[in-house]
Chains A and B, each alone.
Chain A
Amino acid sequence: MQTILVFALLGLGSGAVIAAVAIGVVLSWRGTGSFNLAAGASVMVAGYMFWAFRTGFFRFTLDTWPAVIATLAFMVLYAVVIELLAVRPLRTASPLAKLVASLGVLLLSQALVQVIFGTAPLASPAVLPDDVIVVGDVPVPVAQLILAAGVSLLAAGLWLIYRFTRFGLATRASSENEVAAVLAGLEPSSISVMNSILANLGAGMVGIAAAPIVGISATTIPLLIVPALAAALFARFTSFGIACAAGLAIGVGESLIFYASTKPWFPNRNGVALSGVQPLVVFVLIVVALWWRGSSLPQRGDLRERSLPRVPKQEQLARRMVPMVAACAIALVVLPSEFRQAVVTGLVGTVLCLSFIVIMGYVGQLSVVQLALAGIAGFGVARLSSRYGIGFPLGPLIAVVMALIVGVVVGVSALRVRGVTLVVVTLAAAVAVEKFVFANPDWGGGQTAVTVEQPSIFGVSLGTDAGFRGLGGDLPSPVFGLCALVVTAALYAFVANLRRGELGRRMLAVRSNERAAAAAGVNVRALKVAAFAISSALAGVAGVLFAYDFGTVSTSMFDVMTALSVVASVYVLGVTVVQGAVLGGFGMVGAVVPLILQKWVLPQNQVGLYVQLLIGAGLLLQLRFYPDGILIASATKRERRRVERLRGSATPPVQPANQQGVAA
């Protein structure tokens, strides 16, 4: 009993960080109306900056208190910069665009921190006293308790501010009804800045204090956003108190699960406890929270009707596809092996991105679980052949069906929510799959990579080891590339055609207004499940192709940050057009564009980091200048020019659509 109490107390440390991130999420939602995926990144940034000030990274060393003040000053600056870059330009954008902007901030912050400070976790000098108090007869560090108390105080303070001050009243007003707030003489944009600063100061203080306890790591801290989102959901994105309590409780719960995993009754394999139970529990918690409170999540009243990115029609599909396919086929045979490999990876990436086009572009549901589904199919095809001897073509089929089933399960568990809230479910699902499935040495890869048997049919290899070797004569064989090309082209045509057909029209109807679509006779639930099935199957195909392409599958190929980068890059290019998937695919790490960058432009090592940096920066720039995506902006322009040509000079030119915006 005493040990349980000790583990519970030890969990308060990470619980405090989760609570702080959850409070940051709530603050962003209430203050700026954005769904802030980068709330965890603020804690990370503060941790790194404090470390840098204390250890002389910038060639000068500060004492504890000056370093704290310098870090907090930096956090204010960080808040203002983010506000100017990623929040203010998007005040009138759709919630999806705001969410993606915070994703851009997350990717950019994480990549920058790693480029500047390196990728290894750092040990930060302690701020809080390292005394211990003895509970029963076991020592518990007092810092954990102080941290938890500090976060609780933060929540209480914010509650007081929101409840009793003019500023709090103004924030509540502008989050409830922005038009009315403006008419009352309030400035929502300055209210938003103030809230960002508050959120980042809070995150900064927790980051400084918690860094020595949880360790500074650019890979783990930003992902605390997942349990924090669970806590924020329980708080309906409104209550600081509930967010704080739920965050602390999740931390304690995770610690207790860790304790339980040391017990013999805990599910284990050869004495090693099952890993990844904590993220699985968080995923379940999120699903529970959504079923319980999902329909009552607060909606913000906003200044203007949100517009979704346009979905340009796909015309003259065959005529556009044939040259592309031919060019790819020639490239596969002619190019040297390195680039051949990159083209294949680009093709596979295209299939993966197509799955985003369906679920995000056509149905407007932001799902980030796609890469994890690809991973399930990838590990599936590897394990099926190695363990059960089920090879090509049955193995890949079963693997795709597995991805489809998991995708549909995730989709069904999120049926009650739409749009941005869905990202919470899918993000949690992606993390849970990564930690629970991929990290399991039986089902996934554990710490090592799993080799994949190449496909062959009737003794003829279709894989990368096939006899035909192309011009260079070295591996990989273009045969697999050509097979991948056929599959990719077929799926590309399928997704493009979807837009033109009845199902696509229903999807677009659901995207623009679920209630209206339901009233018009569209079965919204069935349609969403169908969309999840299609996009999961696409992701599954991509996973199988990835497995064959690389010859091995490993956990790192399918991790959450990679998934977020892919989502972001597709969004930059245009999430509603299939061409966006092609560019997104060829921009994936391992594909053509990063290879070119790696060979001639960027430093050789850490190319993934720089690509992430580029995507993050590109995302923010694109949202600023082409909020719908680059390809869609150009398609819209083309269409408008055509319309004007058709109209000729008979009627006066139409008013440009983007002459909107409140008079500044």
Chain B
Amino acid sequence: MTTSALSVDGLAAGYDNGPVLHGVSLYVAPGEVVAMLGPNGAGKSTTLRAISGLIRMTEGQVRLAGSDLAPLSPSARARAGIAHVPEDRGLFRGMTVAEHLRLGPRKEKLDADAAYEYFPALRAISGRMAGVLSGGEQQMLAMARALARKPSVLLLDELSLGLAPLVVERLLPVVRTYATEHKCAVLLVEQHVHLALGIADRAYLMASGVSSSSYDAHVLRNDMTLVQASYLGGPEWASEFEDESKLPFIGEEAQE
């Protein structure tokens, strides 16, 4: 496993009101794009938040290029090479596009030119405040900021949220290109299953805070029954787990 850029093992985490993740395991190799698919509330975003340290994990391990991330604060994890684009895009409304591409900790130099090359449309609006940009421009800026940091692991949360499918279709290939060119490990949470599987190498399915084993993207693309089962529940999904206790909510409902 030391070859993977990011590996997560038996991760359990949650918020104040209770646990959300009950055992998520996955890995992403350098240069690989991995999608996480699953219904709302499955714990996909929570997994990303636990990896970047925004919430504390209660069990399990997260490793970045083999080294344990547990002792690192969220900022330190970011400096170690994780770029997390959260669902709300994580922008600073009162700062200009150019300022976004300059912002960073002392030792980090952002590559603004590379960012403009990936997203040429940003160059024309570099003096504008992020708050007045359109949704697509904002998402471009969020991506551009993440890529300009030259991360070794890129976590993308619902890139497509609130965007026109056309825009998403333009954004996703950039992710693919970047991952391949820079040997960056990309973990992608996405509701547009087909678009995500279109660029991903592999995918994990999630439901009720548990992850499946990984599938090749083209296998899932050709046979959607498993994906549908993870969204809607079904025998194909349950058979993922021999041990029923790993499926707490499904298990409880069954008992009642």
Q: Which residues of A have CB within 8 Å of B53?
A: 662-663
Q: Which residues of A have CB within 8 Å of B99?
A: 169
Query: Contacts A172-B95, A662-B54, A662-B74: A179 and B90 contacting too (C-beta < 8 A)?
Result: yes
Q: Is the CB of B86 within 8 A of A182?
A: no
A243 CB-CB contact with B under 8 Å: no
Q: What total of chain B residues lie within 8 Å of the partner, measured CB to CB?
A: 38
Q: Is the CB of A187 within 8 A of B75?
A: yes
Query: Contacts A183-B86, A662-B73: A657 and B16 contacting too (C-beta < 8 A)?
Result: yes
* A168-210 vs B, Cβ < 8 Å mask (1 yes, 0 no): 0110110011011111111110000000000000000000000
Q: Which residues of A have CB within 8 Å of B74?
A: 182-183, 662-663
Report the bound CA distance from A302 to B149 in whole Å.
Answer: 23
Choose one: A180, A187, A188; the contact of B91 (CB below 8 Å). A180
Nearest-CB residue, chain B, relative to A661: B56
Q: Is the CB of B78 within 8 A of A184?
A: yes
Q: Is the CB of B56 within 8 A of A185?
A: no
Interface centre among B73, B74, B105 (most CB of A within 10 A): B74
Choose one: B14, B57, B108; the contact of A655 (CB below 8 Å). B14
Nearest-CB residue, chain A, relative to B130: A176
Q: Is the CB of B19 within 8 A of A655?
A: yes
Nearest-CB residue, chain A, relative to B53: A663
Query: Contacts A183-B74, A183-B84, A186-B75: A172 and B92 contacting too (C-beta < 8 A)?
Result: yes
Task: Give min CB distance, A464 to chain B, whole Å.
Answer: 52
Complex interface residues of chain B between 90 and 115 (CB less than 8 A to chain A): 90-95, 99, 102-106, 108
* A650-664 vs B, Cβ < 8 Å mask (1 yes, 0 no): 000011011111111
B79 CB-CB contact with A under 8 Å: yes
Q: Is the CB of B91 within 8 A of A185?
A: no
Q: Which residues of B have CB within 8 Å of A663?
A: 53, 56-57, 70, 72-74
Choose one: B83, B91, B94; the contact of A172 (CB below 8 Å). B94
Choose one: B55, B90, B105; the contact of A180 (CB below 8 Å). B90
Task: Give min CB distance, A307 to chain B, whole Å.
Answer: 8
Q: Which residues of B have CB within 8 Å of A183?
A: 52, 54, 74, 78, 83-84, 86, 90
Task: Give min CB distance, A317 to chain B, whole Å.
Answer: 30
Q: Is the CB of A185 within 8 A of B94?
A: no
Q: What total of chain A residues lie within 8 Å of the partner, measured CB to CB?
A: 28
Q: Which residues of A have CB within 8 Å of B105?
A: 170, 184-187
Report the bound CA distance from A184 to B79 in whole Å.
Answer: 8
Report the bound CA distance from A662 to B18 in whole Å.
Answer: 16
Complex interface residues of chain A between 127 and 182 (CB less than 8 A to chain B): 166, 169-170, 172-173, 176-177, 179-182
Report the bound CA distance from A172 to B129 in whole Å.
Answer: 13
Report the bound CA distance from A664 to B15 in whole Å.
Answer: 16
Report the bound CA distance from A533 to B86 in whole Å.
Answer: 45
Nearest-CB residue, chain B, relative to A170: B103
Q: Which residues of B have CB within 8 Å of A173?
A: 92, 95, 103
Task: Give min CB distance, B97 to chain A, whole Å.
Answer: 13
* B218-249 vs A, Cβ < 8 Å mask (1 yes, 0 no): 00000000000000000000000000000000
Q: Which residues of A have CB within 8 Å of B92?
A: 172-173, 176-177, 180-181
Q: Is the CB of B95 within 8 A of A185?
A: no
Query: Contacts A173-B92, A180-B90, A663-B56: A185 and B78 contacting too (C-beta < 8 A)?
Result: yes
Task: Give min CB distance, A36 to chain B, whole Å.
Answer: 21
Q: Which residues of B have CB within 8 Å of A662?
A: 53-56, 73-74
Nearest-CB residue, chain B, relative to A176: B92
Complex interface residues of chain B between 1 and 40 (CB less than 8 A to chain A): 14-16, 18-19
Q: Which residues of A have CB within 8 Å of B84?
A: 183
Q: Is the CB of A177 within 8 A of B56?
A: no
Nearest-CB residue, chain B, relative to A298: B94
Choose one: B19, B55, B102, B108; the contact of A185 (CB below 8 Å). B108
Query: Contacts A185-B75, A186-B105: A176 and B95 contacting too (C-beta < 8 A)?
Result: yes
Task: Give min CB distance, B125 to chain A, whole Å.
Answer: 18
Q: Is the CB of A182 within 8 A of B75?
A: yes
* A460-496 vs B, Cβ < 8 Å mask (1 yes, 0 no): 0000000000000000000000000000000000000
Task: Give min CB distance, B8 to chain A, whole Å.
Answer: 15
* B191-232 vs A, Cβ < 8 Å mask (1 yes, 0 no): 000000000000000000000000000000000000000000
Q: Is the CB of A660 within 8 A of B16?
A: yes
Q: Which residues of B have CB within 8 Å of A654?
A: 18
Report the bound CA distance from A176 to B70 in whole Å.
Answer: 27
Q: Is the CB of B95 within 8 A of A182?
A: no
Q: Is the CB of A185 within 8 A of B73?
A: no
Task: Give min CB distance, B201 to chain A, whole Å.
Answer: 25
Q: Which residues of B have CB within 8 Å of A169?
A: 95, 99, 102-103
Q: Which residues of A have CB within 8 Å of B54?
A: 179, 182-183, 303, 662
Q: Which residues of A have CB within 8 Å of B15?
A: 660
Please give the residue numbers on chain A whose beta carbons come within 8 Å of chain B beta carbons, in ascending order. Answer: 166, 169-170, 172-173, 176-177, 179-188, 303, 654-655, 657-664
Please give the residue numbers on chain B whose beta carbons come within 8 Å of chain A beta carbons, in ascending order. Answer: 14-16, 18-19, 52-58, 70, 72-76, 78-79, 83-84, 86, 90-95, 99, 102-106, 108, 145, 149
Which 3 residue pairs are nearest across A and B when measured between Cβ atoms? A180-B90, A185-B78, A176-B92
Q: 30 A-B pairs, CB-CB below 8 angstroms?
A: A170-B103, A170-B105, A172-B92, A172-B94, A176-B93, A176-B94, A177-B90, A177-B92, A179-B54, A179-B86, A180-B92, A182-B74, A183-B90, A184-B90, A184-B104, A184-B105, A184-B145, A184-B149, A186-B103, A187-B75, A188-B75, A655-B16, A657-B16, A658-B16, A661-B56, A662-B53, A662-B55, A663-B56, A663-B74, A664-B73
Known contacts A179-B54, A183-B83, A663-B56; can you find 15 more A-B pairs with CB under 8 A? A169-B99, A170-B105, A172-B95, A180-B92, A183-B78, A183-B86, A184-B104, A184-B105, A185-B149, A187-B73, A655-B14, A659-B16, A662-B55, A662-B56, A663-B73
